[in-house]
Amino acid sequence: MKTLLMCEPRYFEVCYVINPWMDGNLGRVDTGLAVRQWRDLYDVLSGKAPIKLIEPVAGLPDMVFTANGGFVCRDREVVISSFRHPERRVESRYFSDFFVGSGYRVSGLGNGVHFEGAGDALRDSSGQVWAGYGQRSDVGAIDEIAAMLHGRVNGLALVDPKWYHLDTAFCPLEGGCVIAYDKAFSAQGVGSIERAFGGGTIWVSEEDANSFACNAVNIGSDVILHRASDELKAALGRQGFNVIEVGVSEFIKAGGACKCLTLEL
């Protein structure tokens, strides 16, 4: 069973702009609503998987997005993130301390190589790793992670700053399925996804992409996300999935939704 890492939104706010979603949302987070939305998500997820919590840190509002803290590349081994933006770099120290204290072996990538954890590194149901690059993470991270795994890592170039992490536009599901937004990727990337997932590929509409439908948490047959259109719900239903909507509008103001708020351990 998946174990998830989350972080309470005690200090969550939008106080800087490092992605297009934050633009225009400085100081506009309803913090009380954010706490209630996070709690709703926690309650749904905790009924389906064990959850561990990392202590939030004052002055690090984006620490709530635990997906970016690192990537668990093997059992009890984690690659700690090296954030591109200075506003988030201090987070790495606290995530590293958490993992060391939890008995994980912690490593990092080479000097100067940016890598933003499970926001840009996702496993499909076969165990293959997909890595996004070009916005936050560097292409050089792919070879380093592949060397750690002693296996192939499938790179996907992210071509639009709006979709700055892979998990904002790509979500592998159980049974060899995936939901993804084609306009986040190059033509080559779209082809790679279609070849790998075939009939299990569900391309989402612009409306669903903007509702962060791809930023979903898949546990068994359940797909937990912010919002999905009737068309997407039907497409997922045909593949045997049940959609559970949990509103996280306040976190979308910072560029993240359900998946960003969790890290699979």
| Choice among 7, 165, 171, 214 that is catalytic | 165
Distance, in Å, from the CA atom of 67 to the CA atom of 18, rounded to the nearest integer, reads 17
Question: Any bridge partners for residue 224, and if so which?
Answer: 217, 244
> Contact, 125 vs 174, CB < 8 A?
yes
| Choice among 7, 214, 258, 260 that is catalytic | 260
Residue 157 exposed, middle or buried by CB count within 10 Å (0-12, 13-18, 19+): middle
Which residues 6+ apart lie within 8 Å of 45 measured at CB? 4, 6, 51, 217, 219, 224, 262
Tokens at residue 223, please? 């797909």
Find the length of the chain. 265
Q: Which of 22, 115, 111 is nearest to 61 (CA)?
A: 22
Terminal alpha carbon distance of the chain: 10
Q: Is 260 a catalytic residue?
A: yes
> Contact, 90 vs 60, CB < 8 A?
yes
Question: Any bridge partners for residue 122, and if so which?
Answer: 130
Residue recorded with tokens 């068994």: 220
List the catalytic residues.
Answer: 165, 260
